[in-house]
Amino acid sequence: DVKVTQSSRYLVKRTGEKVFLECVQDMDHENMFWYRQDPGLGLRLIYFSYDVKMKEKGDIPEGYSVSREKKERFSLILESASTNQTSMYLCASRNQQWARQGEQYFGPGTRLTVT
């Protein structure tokens, strides 16, 4: 079974702090994704990565950056956390070979609260 893990289930940070969210997958997937989930808005793509050191902006990249130095790990960085970044953050991975028809595998999510 594919396993996607996220470093924290719950995180509380202060406004202005730099925040790191880590995601690790164990199935050698090339593609990795970061979403935020807010009630009534569904899932919105922040960034995705085709492969190591490759990244592309999603629909809402402002205020975020990412790092993919190793294939199994995809990090989301909030450079200066703000209260409007309070949300559930979901990481996912996928096999690039099946990019169009392949399903994603999601981590359990990190619920981030910025105070």
Partner 1 sequence: AQSVAQPEDQVNVAEGNPLTVKCTYSVSGNPYLFWYVQYPNRGLQFLLKYITGDNLVKGSYGFEAEFNKSQTSFHLKKPSALVSDSALYFCAVSTPKGGSYIPTFGRGTSLIVHP
Which residues of this chain interact with partner 1, rule CB under 8 A?
Answer: 4, 31, 33, 40-43, 45, 48, 50, 56, 58, 90, 92, 96, 99-101, 103-109
- 112 token code pair: 């981030």
**Dihedral sign, CA of 4, 47, 113, 72?**
positive
Place of tokens 């940070």: 13
d(CA 16, CA 113): 13
CB of residue 54 vs partner 1: minimum separation in angstroms?
10
CB of residue 15 vs partner 1: minimum separation in angstroms?
25
**Comparison of 11 and 45: residue with beta carbon closer to partner 1:** 45
